[in-house]
Chains A and B, each alone.
Chain A
Amino acid sequence: MEQLKKGNVKKYILIALAVICVSLLLIADVLHNQNTAVTEKSDVAMGTVITSKLYGKGGEEITAKLTDEFNRLENNILSWRVSASDIAKINSNGSATVSSETVDYIKKAIAVSEKSGGALDITVGTLSKLWDIGGQSARVPSPDEITNALKNTDFRKIKIDNSTVTIGESQQLDLGALGKGIACDAAKKILDESELSGGVVSVGGSILLWGDKPDGGDWQIGVRDPRGEQTDSMGVLSLKNGCVSTSGDYERVLTVDGKNYHHILNPKTGYPAESSVISVTIVSDSGLLSDALSTACFVLGADDGMKLLKEFGAEGIFVTSDKRVIVSDGLKDKFTVKNTDYTLENS
């Protein structure tokens, strides 16, 4: 009898052990698959590199949809280089009837222009073409050329009547400061309609964080070290979702006689902005706002930039030329400085 009991117990223990082992294997497999069911792709659109990391079902199909959507934005709406786009039509005719989508983008840009006192100005087109920093004919224009171009830089001259947009004489629109952010918003719409569980999309460095990270934690975003190489981060942001954009003086630089000229032009002076910040990173639910505000805040500097962010309910990280890091209240427990060359400061 005793022997039989022992035999039974032994049998149960062995069965239990086998069940535990198989369960462990299955759990490991599920976790493994969850983490590796990822579609990671890079492509070229809107004159920049698009990188996406999508988790869950249908990633391949979604990356194709993203590329199509970015091409549509570039060719139909945003690019002043593509003659059929709404912006090019406005620029070439001085006035054009455009899509409600284009009107919406222009109105939102004007709202940032107004609240930032013109630190962002989408009528900067004449000026940006003159410098062409990052383009084939980049050069430092003469002071006279800059003075003339500044005469055409004033967002207040844009008139919107329903779907007709009219610009001032000789004015040229340039939505370059918000294009990547607009693309992030468009990507969000596509992901919202997908069966994916989560993902990150980078449009030339402006990013969308969407859905859940497979391990359930926050997305970890490396903030580029403005004085380092392309993948060196000066700090890391932990965020659940939203859009993040950075404007920095390291991106697209023209060097003449040992002097560097970066591409973020101050619409007031006509020269690359010098506000003692070397990079500004903005977090917002809206990609358009994060992108537009990063430019405006770069031009304004940390003090006025912080005030502007409050107007739009956005958050930001300002890096100054002496490597101080000023973080808005909403990001204080979400941002960690990793590079010890930089000092975190209380704003």
Chain B
Amino acid sequence: MNSKSKLFKKTDLILILVILLICGIFLIPRIIDKSDNLTAVLYIDGAEVRKISLNKVTEPYEFSFGNKHTATVRVENGRIRYLDADCPDKVCVNSGWLSKNGDTASCLPARTVIRVQSEKSDVDIMVY
């Protein structure tokens, strides 16, 4: 310890700390990037048309979604759903709220899909 204090001056130690700090600043986001960020991804004809960070929703809102058939989608904090649709079978509406990683609802006649994704997941895919 004594020899070390002779080896490094106070300014050197500050320099080392600065290097470590800069390194840390760059490393931390890469390590904690897998935060539980629940995202709803909306697709029409296989093309991603919208992404919604469900955890960041403060006020509930609704919007119109689709092309061949139109659905009303409702978004609340942590969840999303097809609220109403003009398609014949209403399978999309009956799917209810989507709030967990992998939750998926689809309107086959309108060729739309809403899927909830999270980086933080124990499983890669569900078999059902």
Q: Which residues of A contact B48 (CB under 8 A)?
A: 41
Known interface pairs A42-B104, A63-B46, A230-B104. Does A28 touch B122 (Cβ–Cβ under 8 Å)?
A: no
Taking a contact as CB atoms closer than 8 A, the residue among A29, A42, A233, A244 that contacts B113 in the complex is A42
In chain B, positions 56-77 with a C-beta closer than 8 Å to chain A are: none
A21 to chain B, nearest CB (A): 4
Verify if A207 is at the interface (C-beta below 8 Å from B): yes
Task: Assess whether A28 is in contact with B27, with CB atoms less than 8 Å apart.
Answer: yes
Q: Which residues of B contact A49 (CB under 8 A)?
A: 104, 106, 113
**Interface-lining segment among A84-92, A141-149, A221-229:** A221-229
Task: Assess whether B89 is in contact with A51, with CB atoms less than 8 Å apart.
Answer: no
Verify if A40 is at the interface (C-beta below 8 Å from B): yes
Q: Which residues of A contact B126 (CB under 8 A)?
A: 202, 205, 221-224, 230-231, 233
A41 to B89, CA, bound (A): 24
- A interface footprint on B1-12 (CB within 8 Å = 1, 0 otherwise): 000001110001
In chain B, positions 33-70 with a C-beta closer than 8 Å to chain A are: 33, 41, 43, 45-46, 48
Interface residue SS majority, chain B? mixed
Task: Assess whether B46 is in contact with A221, with CB atoms less than 8 Å apart.
Answer: no
Task: Assess whether A205 is in contact with B7, with CB atoms less than 8 Å apart.
Answer: no
Verify if A82 is at the interface (C-beta below 8 Å from B): no
Could you tell me how many residues of chain B have their Cβ less than 8 Å away from some Cβ of chain A?
41
A173 to chain B, nearest CB (A): 22
- A interface footprint on B112-126 (CB within 8 Å = 1, 0 otherwise): 110101000011111
Task: Assess whether A202 is in contact with B125, with CB atoms less than 8 Å apart.
Answer: yes
A206 to B128, CA, bound (A): 7
A264 to chain B, nearest CB (A): 14
In chain A, positions 190-234 with a C-beta closer than 8 Å to chain B are: 200, 202, 205-207, 209, 213, 219-224, 230-231, 233
Q: Which residues of B contact A209 (CB under 8 A)?
A: 125
Known interface pairs A221-B127, A233-B123. Does A41 touch B6 (Cβ–Cβ under 8 Å)?
A: no
Task: Assess whether B23 is in contact with A43, with CB atoms less than 8 Å apart.
Answer: no
B94 to chain A, nearest CB (A): 12
- Top 8 A-B pairs ranked by shortest CB distance? A43-B46, A222-B123, A205-B128, A224-B128, A21-B23, A42-B113, A231-B102, A222-B126
Binding site for B on A (CB under 8 A): 6, 9-10, 14, 17-18, 21, 24-25, 28-29, 31-32, 36, 40-44, 47-49, 51, 53, 63-64, 67, 136, 200, 202, 205-207, 209, 213, 219-224, 230-231, 233, 236-237, 244-246, 248, 251, 281
9 A-B residue pairs with Cβ-Cβ distance under 8 Å, sorted by A, are: A29-B30, A32-B33, A42-B43, A42-B106, A44-B111, A51-B115, A67-B46, A230-B128, A246-B127
Binding site for A on B (CB under 8 A): 6-8, 12, 15-16, 19-20, 22-23, 26-27, 30-31, 33, 41, 43, 45-46, 48, 88-89, 100-104, 106, 108, 111-113, 115, 117, 122-128
